[in-house]
Structure 1
Amino acid sequence: MTVVDNEPITLDIDAAEGFLRMFHIAHPEAGPVGPRLAEVRDEIAETGTYRHTTAELSYGTRIALRDSGWCTSGVPWRRLKVRDLRGYRNAAAVAGECVEHLRLATNGGEVRPLVTVFAPDTPTAPGPCIWNEQLVRYAGYADGTGDRRYAAFTEAVRGMGWRPPERPGRFDVLPLVVETAHEGPKLFTIPPDVVHEVCLEHPELPWFGSLGLRWHAVPLITNMKLCIGGVTYPAAPFNTWFVGSEVGTRSLADEGGYGAARPVAEALGLDTSAERTLWRDRAVVELNRAVLHSFDLAEVTITDHHAESLHRLSWLRSRQRASTNRPAFRLEASAARRARTGGPARFSNAALETTRPHSPGRLAELLRRRAEG
Structure 2
Amino acid sequence: MNMSEIATEGLLYKQAEQYIRESYHERSVPQSQMLARLSDIRDEINEIGTYNHTIEELTYGAKLAWRNSNRCIGRLFWESLTVIDARHVTNTDEMAQVLFRHIREATNEGRIKPMISIFPPASSRAVKPPRIWNHQLVRYAGYETESGVIGDPASVAFTTTCLSLGWRGAGSAFDVLPLVLSLEDGEPSLYPIPEELVKEVPIAHPHIEGIGELGLKWYAVPFVADMRLEIGGIHYTAAPFNGWYMGTEIGARNLADDDRYNMLPDIAAAMGLDTTSAFTLWKDRALVELNIAVLHSFREHGVTIVDHHTAAGQFKRFQKNENDNDRDVTGRWSWLIPPLSPATTHLFHSSFDDEIKLPNYFYQN
Tell me the TM-score normalised to structure 1 length.
0.82
Match of 1:157 in 2: 162
Select the residue among 112, 118, 141 that pairs with 2:143.
Answer: 141
Partner Cα separation in structure 2 for residue 99 and residue 72 of structure 1: 27
Q: Which moved more, 1:53-62 or 1:21-30?
A: 21-30
Contact 2:208 2:271 in 1 (8 A): no
Q: How does 1:288-367 map to 2 (within 5 A)?
A: 288-313=291-316, 315=318, 318=322, 319-320=328-329, 326-332=358-364, 334=365
Match of 1:34 in 2: 35
Contact 1:16 1:325 in 2 (8 A): no
Contact 2:68 2:357 in 1 (8 A): no
Q: Secondary structure at the match of 1:108?
A: helix
Partner Cα separation in structure 1 for residue 3 and residue 16 of structure 2: 23
Contact 2:75 2:315 in 1 (8 A): no
Instruction: State the Cα distance separating 1:284 from its structure 2 match.
Output: 0.9
Match of 1:51 in 2: 52
Partner Cα separation in structure 2 for residue 325 and residue 145 of structure 1: 40
Partner Cα separation in structure 1 for residue 271 and residue 357 of structure 2: 52
The answer to whether the aligner puts 1:78 opposite 2:79 as a matched pair is yes
Match of 1:90 in 2: 91
Q: Tell which has more relative contact order, 1 or 2 (C-alpha 8 A, sep 6+).
A: 1
Partner Cα separation in structure 1 for residue 189 and residue 158 of structure 2: 14
The answer to whether the aligner puts 1:10 opposite 2:7 as a matched pair is yes
Q: Deviation per CA, 1:304-339, whole angstroms, max 9, x where unpaired? A: 11122233455467445677772111112x1xxxxx
Match of 1:280 in 2: 283
- Distance 1:72-1:251 versus aligned 2 partners, 3 A rule: same
Q: Secondary structure at the match of 1:177?
A: strand
Partner Cα separation in structure 2 for residue 18 and residue 314 of structure 1: 27
- Distance 1:288-1:22 versus aligned 2 partners, 3 A rule: same
Contact 2:140 2:176 in 1 (8 A): yes
Select the residue among 158, 179, 182 that pairs with 2:182.
Answer: 179
Q: Deviation per CA, 1:114-137, whole angstroms, max 9, x where unpaired? A: 111110112234641111111111
Contact 2:210 2:271 in 1 (8 A): no
Q: Secondary structure at the match of 2:182?
A: strand
The letter for the 1-side match of 2:29 is E
- Distance 1:20-1:325 versus aligned 2 partners, 3 A rule: farther
Gap runs ≥5 in structure 1: 335-373
Partner Cα separation in structure 1 for residue 293 and residue 211 of structure 2: 8
Number of residues of Structure 1 aligned to a counterpart in Structure 2: 328
Instruction: State the Cα distance separating 1:138 from its structure 2 match.
Output: 0.3
Partner Cα separation in structure 2 for residue 281 and residue 77 of structure 1: 33
Moved over 6 A (4+): 321-325
Partner Cα separation in structure 2 for residue 224 and residue 282 of structure 1: 35
Contact 1:89 1:128 in 2 (8 A): no
Q: How does 1:162-241 map to 2 (within 5 A)?
A: 162-165=167-170, 168-241=171-244
The letter for the 1-side match of 2:99 is C
Partner Cα separation in structure 2 for residue 164 and residue 108 of structure 1: 25
Contact 2:86 2:120 in 1 (8 A): yes
Q: Deviation per CA, 1:279-324, whole angstroms, max 9, x where unpaired? A: 1111111110000000011111000111222334554674456777
Instruction: State the Cα distance separating 1:67 from its structure 2 match.
Output: 1.8
Instruction: State the Cα distance separating 1:13 from its structure 2 match.
Output: 2.9
The letter for the 2-side match of 1:117 is I
Q: Secondary structure at the match of 2:100?
A: helix
The letter for the 1-side match of 2:22 is M
Q: Secondary structure at the match of 1:164?
A: coil
Q: Which moved more, 1:84-93 or 1:45-54?
A: 84-93
Partner Cα separation in structure 2 for residue 113 and residue 316 of structure 1: 20
Instruction: State the Cα distance separating 1:271 from its structure 2 match.
Output: 2.0
- Distance 1:151-1:39 versus aligned 2 partners, 3 A rule: same
Partner Cα separation in structure 2 for residue 8 and residue 253 of structure 1: 38
Tell me the TM-score normalised to structure 2 length.
0.84
Contact 1:73 1:307 in 2 (8 A): no
- Distance 1:78-1:302 versus aligned 2 partners, 3 A rule: same
Partner Cα separation in structure 1 for residue 2 and residue 36 of structure 2: 35
Instruction: State the Cα distance separating 1:83 from its structure 2 match.
Output: 0.9
Partner Cα separation in structure 2 for residue 294 and residue 171 of structure 1: 17
Identity %: 41
The answer to whether the aligner puts 1:249 opposite 2:252 as a matched pair is yes
Q: Deviation per CA, 1:239-263, whole angstroms, max 9, x where unpaired? A: 1100000011110111211111111
The letter for the 1-side match of 2:359 is P
Instruction: State the Cα distance separating 1:220 from its structure 2 match.
Output: 0.9
